């Protein structure tokens, strides 16, 4: 039985109590009640939360879905889930079963949850004004076709996703048609496909996240007004892996991020009016690869260090601005001691131009011939865009 | 043959140039490891050096040694010794001592910096093996050139040209043909073209073992499919052996027919 505190009841659920089932206790509880789930294992699935409740675990009780279907389904506003350990979500090829699914709800709060052996993790569907905070999602995805995403937002808005740890799922965090989402301080690693995946989502901010060792890095596609700040993209290394893939992105700001040891730091396609400020590109294969139709972008104050190719560019036309960046392979001098090199730096190597034209030529990577050609092209550019240069390269690394 | 080999070998081991060569690799190894302290990264940097320098030094050393020891060779020819053993002995002496300088010069710093404890040991071994092959190939080629040319200037010229061709011009032609025929499927062509040049073959063999191979993309995947497998490895080693054997046979053929 519950007992009264103010107007809301507190219900205690434990294996040996009168209330030994979460599902039945939810049915009994009145709106705005609290369920305290004590330590133990509860073999339950398809728990429908259709009234505003707080369901709080004490000592991480295990809710085992026994691979039969979804575990929690939230259809009411003002629901809080806190401190539960959910395992064994049913894998289905016709339904996107999730450990926690939030449907058309507002002001939900999902925090301190641990999700393992899952299909989809936290699935927000047409929901808004909620918070997904400090959860740990550990999947064991092997194939893309029978695995789900860690945190998925679909037609949701104004949600805060913070301090989560997602690993081993298909896409770590996936956004589709979701606006005004804040994604901060998350770690998304070892996922099969993308660490973070944006589709048709505008006015979103993501900052201070770490994306590491994901199958294909991070993809941001068909979205507007995205702010990406102070994130770290590391070790997305493979023949089809990117630190970040930008496709049809307009009016974004990308600043203070670190791209380290990725095959391609940022792959840019059809993206306009983007500001790249103060990012660090370290030890990537390609730091930035521009595929086509990218106009009015500006690259300022970035550090380009020890990348095999700094910039790769596939057209002779350049409408993008490079200014005041630090390039580790810059060999110029600074006679007037103003901190900027006196000779412009040309970041596009002839080799990267040739490779763009005929991809097979990459087999000549690191051959003496290519080094000689690159050198002569740098002295007097013929093939690479003449105005693609940093007229004010920094002499010292921007700290 | 063994006696002459031994003589040439000791002669070179005692000579100043072997020491210079040995010290060069020793300092190179130490400096590289001192600068980045990471065995596997140093292997990448070394690759660039090895692929360009070893053939060059092998070529020049081979030609120089042949012309310098000409009088001694003529003296030996007057003795009842088989021609093949004289020339083979000299060839193996030069190539052997150069290889020894390379292996010791690079081996010592890497071992001191903990090669055996790192997982780069296989890459490093591959680097040394291809280095040894390149030495043998280019010393052999330079001997053939030297034996066919009485004129020292001409001999040197041809030898340097040969190096220039295989190290630089070949890649240029390769690149041109890739661009000219870009409409056609070029996978097999680039595989064959790479395998035909020992310098390119060594470069690709080492590249594929390193992380950087991910940069090679689609073409790299095809290369990996071929060179990455056991059969591909055996084939490429066989090609390197063939490249070593052919100049040696050429040397023997020339030596037999030459009128001293």
| B199-210 residue pLDDT tens | 999 988 888 877
Min Cα distance B188 → chain A (Å) is: 11
Count the Cβ atoms, other than its own, within 10 Å of residue A265.
Answer: 32
- B216 pLDDT more than 80: no
- Could you tell me the pLDDT band of residue A274, with boundaries at 50, 70 and 90? very high
Each residue of A356-398: pLDDT tens digit? Answer: 888 888 888 888 888 888 888 877 777 777 788 899 999 998 8
Q: Which residues of A touch B202 (CB under 8 A)?
A: none
User: CB-CB: which of A358, A363, A369 is closest to B179?
Assistant: A358
pLDDT score, position B1: 67
Q: Across residues A66-80, what is the average pLDDT? A: 93
pLDDT score, position A1: 46
- Could you tell me the pLDDT band of residue A299, with boundaries at 50, 70 and 90? very high
**What's the N-to-C CA distance of chain B in angstroms?**
19
Count the Cβ atoms, other than its own, within 10 Å of residue A148.
Answer: 23
**Which of A288-292, B168-172, B233-237 is most confident?**
B168-172
Within 13 Å of residue A111, how many CA atoms lie on the same side as its CB?
Answer: 13
Q: Across residues A183-209, what is the average pLDDT? A: 94
Q: Which residue of B has its CA nearest to A238?
A: B214
Q: Among B163, B176, B178, which would you mutate to test the A interface (most chain A Cβ atoms within 10 Å of its Cβ)?
A: B178
| Mean pLDDT lowest among A7-16, A381-390, B1-10 | B1-10
Say which residue the tokens 């040397």 belong to: B251
User: CB-CB: which of B172, B178, B190 is closest to A369?
Assistant: B172
Separation between Cα atoms, residue B61 and residue B94, nearest integer Å = 8
- For the record, the structure tokens of B136 come out as 């043998």
Each residue of A75-88: pLDDT tens digit? Answer: 999 999 999 999 99
Reduced to 3 DSSP states, what percent helix, strand and coil does chain B have, rounded to the nearest 5? 85, 0, 15
The answer to whether A132 and A122 are in contact (CB under 8 A) is: yes
Q: For the CA atoms of B228, B232, B233, B236, what is the dihedral angle to 10 degrees?
A: -130
Q: Among A367, A368, A377, which would you mutate to test the B interface (most chain B Cβ atoms within 10 Å of its Cβ)?
A: A367
Please count the residue pairs, one from chain A and one from chain B, whose beta carbons lie less than 8 angstroms apart: 81
Q: Across residues A236-242, what is the average pLDDT? A: 84
User: CB-CB: which of A286, A365, A369 is closest to B216?
Assistant: A365
- A5 pLDDT more than 70: no
pLDDT score, position B42: 77
pLDDT score, position A7: 63
Question: Exposed (0-12), middle (13-18) or buried (19+): which is A44, by Cβ within 10 Å?
Answer: middle
Q: Among B50, B134, B207, B216, which would you mutate to test the A interface (most chain A Cβ atoms within 10 Å of its Cβ)?
A: B216
Chain A CB within 8 Å of residue B52 CB: yes
Q: Which residues of A touch B214 (CB under 8 A)?
A: 237-239, 241, 263, 285
**What's the N-to-C CA distance of chain A in angstroms?**
61
- Nearest CA to A211 among A253, A183, A239? A183
Q: Across residues A71-75, what is the average pLDDT? A: 94
**Sign of the CA dihedral A345, A349, A350, A353?**
negative
pTM of the model: 0.83
- Residues of A302-333 as b/e, b for ≥16 C-beta within 10 angstroms? bbbbebbbbbbbeeeebebbbbbbbbeebeee
The answer to whether A29 and A8 are in contact (CB under 8 A) is: no
- Could you tell me the pLDDT band of residue A132, with boundaries at 50, 70 and 90? very high
Q: Which residues of A touch B203 (CB under 8 A)?
A: 366-367
- A142 pLDDT more than 70: yes
Q: Which residues of A touch B178 (CB under 8 A)?
A: 358, 360-361
pLDDT score, position B142: 95
Q: Say what percent of chain A tops pLDDT 90.
A: 64
Inter-chain touch B212–A354, beta carbons under 8 Å: no
Chain A CB within 8 Å of residue B48 CB: yes
Chain A CB within 8 Å of residue B194 CB: yes
- Nearest CA to A152 among A102, A222, A202, A221? A102
Q: Which residues of A touch B204 (CB under 8 A)?
A: 363
Separation between Cα atoms, residue A65 and residue B132, nearest integer Å = 62
- A194 pLDDT more than 90: yes
Complete DSSP assignment for B208-226:
HHSGGGGGGHHHHHHHHHH
Segments of A33-150 assigned E as strands: 34-37, 41-42, 47-49, 54-57, 62-64, 72-74, 80-82, 85-87, 98-103, 109-111, 114-116, 120-125, 131-133, 136-138
Inter-chain touch B217–A362, beta carbons under 8 Å: yes
SS3 A195: coil
Query: A182 vs B233, which has greater pLDDT?
Result: A182
Inter-chain touch A364–B179, beta carbons under 8 Å: no
Sheet holding A173-176, edge to edge: A47-49, A72-74, A98-103, A120-125, A151-154, A173-176, A196-199, A218-224, A242-250, A264-269, A286-292, A309-313
- Could you tell me the pLDDT band of residue A155, with boundaries at 50, 70 and 90? very high
Q: Across residues A304-318, what is the average pLDDT? A: 85
User: Residue A130: CB partners within 8 Å, gap ≥ 6?
Assistant: A102, A105, A106, A107, A108, A109, A110, A124, A156, A158, A159, A160
Each residue of B110-135: pLDDT tens digit? Answer: 888 877 777 778 888 889 999 999 99
pLDDT score, position A4: 54
Question: A91 φ, ψ to 5°?
Answer: -90, 130
- For the record, the structure tokens of B235 come out as 């084939």
SS3 A15: coil
Q: Across residues A36-64, what is the average pLDDT? A: 93
Min Cα distance B167 → chain A (Å) is: 7
Chain A CB within 8 Å of residue B166 CB: no
Min Cα distance A155 → chain B (Å) is: 36
Inter-chain touch A361–B218, beta carbons under 8 Å: no
Q: Say what percent of chain B tops pLDDT 90.
A: 37
**Whole-number mean pLDDT of chain A?**
90
The answer to whether A61 and A40 are in contact (CB under 8 A) is: yes
Chain A CB within 8 Å of residue B214 CB: yes
Q: Which residues of B touch A237 (CB under 8 A)?
A: 211, 214
Q: Can you name the residues that pair with A228 across neighbouring β-strands?
A: A206, A254
Q: Which residues of B touch A363 (CB under 8 A)?
A: 190, 194, 200, 204, 216, 219-220, 223
Question: A49 φ, ψ to 5°?
Answer: -100, 100
Min Cα distance B177 → chain A (Å) is: 10
- Could you tell me the pLDDT band of residue B39, with boundaries at 50, 70 and 90? confident
Min Cα distance B77 → chain A (Å) is: 41
Inter-chain touch B218–A241, beta carbons under 8 Å: no
User: CB-CB: which of A238, A239, A361 is closest to B175?
Assistant: A361
Q: Can you name the residues that pair with A48 across neighbouring β-strands?
A: A73
Q: Which residues of A touch B35 (CB under 8 A)?
A: none
The answer to whether A9 and A30 are in contact (CB under 8 A) is: yes
**Whole-number mean pLDDT of chain B?**
86
Separation between Cα atoms, residue B140 and residue B233, nearest integer Å = 23
- B188 pLDDT more than 70: yes
């Amino acid at each position: 039985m519950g007992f009264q505190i103010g107007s809301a009841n507190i219900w205690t659920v434990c294996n040996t109590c009168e209330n030994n089932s979460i599902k039945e206790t939810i049915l009994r509880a009145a709106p705005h009640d609290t369920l305290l789930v004590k330590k133990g294992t509860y073999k339950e699935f398809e728990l429908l939360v259709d009234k505003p409740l707080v369901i709080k675990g004490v000592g991480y009780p295990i809710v085992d879905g026994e691979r039969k279907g979804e575990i929690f389904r939230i259809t009411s506003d003002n629901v809080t889930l806190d401190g539960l350990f959910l395992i064994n979500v049913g894998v289905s090829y016709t339904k996107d079963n999730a450990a926690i699914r939030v449907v058309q709800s507002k002001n939900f709060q999902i925090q301190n949850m641990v999700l393992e052996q899952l299909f989809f993790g936290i699935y927000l569907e047409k929901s808004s004004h909620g918070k997904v905070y400090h959860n740990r999602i550990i999947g064991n995805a092997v194939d893309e076709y029978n695995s789900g995403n860690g945190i998925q937002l679909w037609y949701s808005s104004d949600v805060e996703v913070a301090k989560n740890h997602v690993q081993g799922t298909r896409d770590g965090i996936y956004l589709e048609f979701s606006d005004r989402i804040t994604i901060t301080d998350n770690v998304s690693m070892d996922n099969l496909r993308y660490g973070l995946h944006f589709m048709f989502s505008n006015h979103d901010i993501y900052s201070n996240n770490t994306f590491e060792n994901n199958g294909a890095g991070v993809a941001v596609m068909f979205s507007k007004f995205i702010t990406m700040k102070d994130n770290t993209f590391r070790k997305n290394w493979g023949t089809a892996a990117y630190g970040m893939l930008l496709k049809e992105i307009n009016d974004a700001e990308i600043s203070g991020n670190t791209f380290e040891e990725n095959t391609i730091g940022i792959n840019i396609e059809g993206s306009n009016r983007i500001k790249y400020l103060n990012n660090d590109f370290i030890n990537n294969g390609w730091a930035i690869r521009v595929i086509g139709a990218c106009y009015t972008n500006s690259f300022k104050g970035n550090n380009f260090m020890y990348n095999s190719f700094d910039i790769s560019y596939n057209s002779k036309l350049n409408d993008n601005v490079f200014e005041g960046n630090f390039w580790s392979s810059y060999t110029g001098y600074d006679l007037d001691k103003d901190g900027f090199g006196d000779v412009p730096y040309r970041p596009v190597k002839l080799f990267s131009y040739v490779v763009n034209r005929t991809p097979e030529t990459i087999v000549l990577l690191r051959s003496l011939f290519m080094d000689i050609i690159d050198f002569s092209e740098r002295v007097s550019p013929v093939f690479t865009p003449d105005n693609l240069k940093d007229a004010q390269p920094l002499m010292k690394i921007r700290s | 043959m063994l006696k002459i080999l031994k003589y040439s070998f000791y002669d070179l081991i005692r000579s100043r140039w072997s020491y210079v060569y040995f010290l060069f690799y020793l300092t190179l190894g130490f400096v590289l490891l001192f600068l980045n302290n990471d065995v596997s990264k140093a292997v990448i940097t070394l690759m660039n050096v090895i692929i360009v320098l070893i053939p060059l030094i092998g070529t020049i050393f081979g030609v120089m040694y042949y012309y310098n020891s000409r009088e001694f060779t003529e003296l030996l020819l007057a003795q009842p010794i088989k021609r093949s053993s004289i020339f083979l002995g000299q060839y193996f002496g030069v190539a052997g001592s150069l290889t020894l300088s390379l292996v010791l010069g690079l081996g010592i710093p890497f071992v001191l910096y903990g090669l055996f404890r790192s997982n780069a040991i296989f890459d490093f071994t591959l680097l040394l093996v291809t280095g040894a092959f390149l030495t043998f190939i280019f010393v052999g080629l330079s001997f053939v050139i030297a034996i066919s040319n009485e004129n020292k200037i001409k001999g040197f010229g041809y030898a340097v040209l040969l190096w220039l061709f295989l190290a630089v011009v070949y890649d240029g032609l390769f690149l041109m043909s890739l661009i000219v025929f870009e409409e056609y499927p070029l996978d097999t062509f680039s595989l064959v073209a790479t395998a035909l040049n020992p310098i390119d073959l060594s470069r690709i063999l080492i590249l594929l073992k390193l992380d950087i191979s991910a940069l090679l993309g689609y073409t790299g995947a095809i290369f990996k499919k071929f060179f990455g497998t056991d059969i591909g490895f055996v084939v490429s080693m066989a090609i390197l052996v063939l490249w070593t054997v052919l100049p040696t046979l050429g040397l023997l053929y020339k030596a037999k027919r030459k009128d001293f």
